[in-house]
Every structure is written in C-alpha cells, then in structure tokens.
Amino acid sequence: MSISRSAASCLTLPPPEPPGPSGSPLAERSEFEIVGSSAVMKRLRLKVRRIGPHFRTVLVSGEAGTGKELVARKLHAMNLGASGPFVACHATAPEDLLAECAANGGSADPPRPLMKGSQRGTLFLDGINEMPLEEQGRLVGALKKHELMQSRLEASQRMDLRLIASTSEDLRILASTGRFRQDLYQLLATVDIAVPPLRERIEDLPELARCFLDRFAMCYGRNVREIEDEAMNRMQRYCWPGNVREFESVLRNGVLQSEGAVLESHHLPVFTEVSGLGEPAPGTDRSVRLQDVVEQHVLRVLKDCRGNKLRTAEVLGISRSTLYRMLDAGAPTGNVRAQV
C-alpha cells in the first residue's frame, strides 16, 4: 500500500553497492562487511585486506561500539590458514580459556587446542584492557607454553591458532603505568588496527543507515526505505558516544516505531546535538570538553532507563563494566550517581 510523503523532504538512501570483481575477498557484501566510504574507513579496509590473509596475532583498538569484533571476524574470514571456527571470549571472564590452557601442559598426549573448538581457527579476546593483572600473567604463560609445544611438533600435527585481542584503552599507556603487563602487550601488539569512532566519519551515516534499515526491514517485516532530511540532519549533528552500536540501536527503535516507509524525526530520541567536527551548538560554552558531553549523555540515557544500568549499557552500546567506570569517573566532579 502506498503512503503519502510528509511535507518535509526526505533523504532517499543510496542503493546497495553492486558486487565487486568475481574472486575478490570483498566481492560480495556479507554480514562481516566493513561499511563506509569515508577516507578513514577506506584506510581501515585496506589494512584489513593486507593483514587478513596471513596474520597470527592482532590487536584491534577503538572506543566501545565502533565495531572491533566485526573487524576481528573479517580478519578471520580472510585468513588463508584459518580453517577452524571463530571463538569469542570476553577477557574479564577467561576461566574456561585458562583452564583449557592449563590442561595443555605436562601431558604425554597430543596437546589440545588453546580453547575448545578453536583448533586452526581464531581466538578473539574481547576487552583485553579489562583483564585483571593476575589473569594476564596466566595468559602469558599459557600462550608461551602453547607456542613451545607447537614448535616441537611436525608441521602436519601443529594446531595453528590465530589470536585477536580488542581494547577500548591505549595499552601502551596502561603498560607504562603498571596497569597492564608489558610482556603481554608485546605479545599482542605485533600488529595494531585502530577502528575510528563514528563522530570521525559522520559522512558514512547514510550508508550505514541503508545497511541497518535493510536488515531491520527483513527482521521485523517493516517497509522503512527512506529517512527524512530533518532526521538525518539531527543524527549528523550528534557526536554518537556509543558509536555504531548506538546508531544501530537508534535506527532499530525508529523502525519499530515507524508505520510507513519514511523514518521521521519524531521517531528518534532527544539528542545532544554537538557537531562531529567539534563545533558546539549555538549559545553553548565553546570550551566544553567532549568528556563532559559524554558524561551528560550517559546521565540522560540512565535517567530515561529509570536507573536500569543493564538497559543503559545496551542503549549506549557499551559493556556494563565500562558504564560503571564512566559513572565512577564522573562521580567526584559531576556527582554522576546523585543526578540519576
């Protein structure tokens, strides 16, 4: 059934890109495709293409919600030797991983893979910056033991393992201040891929929106194909502290509220409209820090979620531990908790 357009003009999203040359690793868009035509995303894809086929250890850095796991999965999909599965493990709960590592040593039997199911695959350690120091030491020992045992085997018997770790903090700074082990940092940082925040690639929003709208239309049986100009302009003036994950959540909620083919401005939440280029809204203090804007946004979302921290973390696209750290960091100066 056709619908009448609103008086406001609408942004017709670009059609999906045609597939590339046959045989190319990026020939067809998949669920692991890295979306964006901005210069920073082109450089990111180029780096992934260069590293992907032959990597052994990679550190993926970036703010929460930027898509670090997506980059890790793309690296795994492109690796020529990764015939096994992609196994994700959050670094704050590595008990199963380390128990399996410990079982690898001191046995006359053929060694088992570093983690169940990860033989000849890729092990993804998410949030390595949140791993306690004691666990870091155990992980270093397990990795060195694994490499030593593999070096003693014939090539046909080796159980290759590719390791990707993600961090939302600069491990060099953490290591220099004693909050992260230097030896583990050196093991992980052989290759470092930085994923840019969404505020540094605002021009990618229409392309990202097309991908998400196509997905949500299929998932929820909706017919949203266009975004009102005013709605897109509002989103492009927002700094997106939760990055792509927050953008995805906003579009999902907007699609679920929409009954027609156009996503309109009233389908969106109230944004703190700060330009991604750092230009503050008219009438505001031009010396305001981005950290202050982020803290105020976290407070607003937490209040909208009636103090539910799990829901707040989901809306912001961050982990609960990251949310707690942000609240604790803001409490002494901004009285963060008292305002909720």
pLDDT-derived band at 31 (thresholds 50, 70, 90) equals low
What are the angstrom distances between the C-alpha of 128 and each of 69, 111, 133, 235, 334?
Answer: 12, 25, 11, 31, 28
φ, ψ for residue 193, nearest 5 deg: -115, 120
Q: Find out whether 301 and 268 touch, Cβ atoms under 8 Å.
A: no
Among 36-50, 149-163, 221-235, 284-298, the minimum mean pLDDT is found in 284-298
Nearest to 211 by CA among 76, 68, 17: 17
116-127 pLDDT, tens digit each: 445 578 999 999
**Which H or E run includes 11?**
strand 10-12
Contact criterion met (CB below 8 Å) for 262 and 5 = yes
**Structural domains for the chain:** 39-194 (3.40.50.300), 198-280 (1.10.8.60), 289-340 (1.10.10)
d(CA 133, CA 318): 22
Report the side by side order of strands in the sheet with 57-61.
Answer: 86-90, 122-126, 162-167, 57-61, 192-194
Taking a C-beta distance cutoff of 8 angstroms, is the pair 65, 318 a contact?
yes
Q: Are strands 262-263 and 226-228 parallel, antiparallel or unpaired?
A: parallel
Answering whether pTM is above 0.75, one says no
**What is residue 80's predicted lDDT score, i.e. its pLDDT?**
84
Q: What is the band of 229 on the pLDDT scale with cuts at 50, 70, 90?
A: very high
Is a pLDDT exceeding 80 seen at residue 257?
Answer: yes
C-alpha separations of 21 from 18, 25, 26, 253 in Å: 10, 9, 8, 36
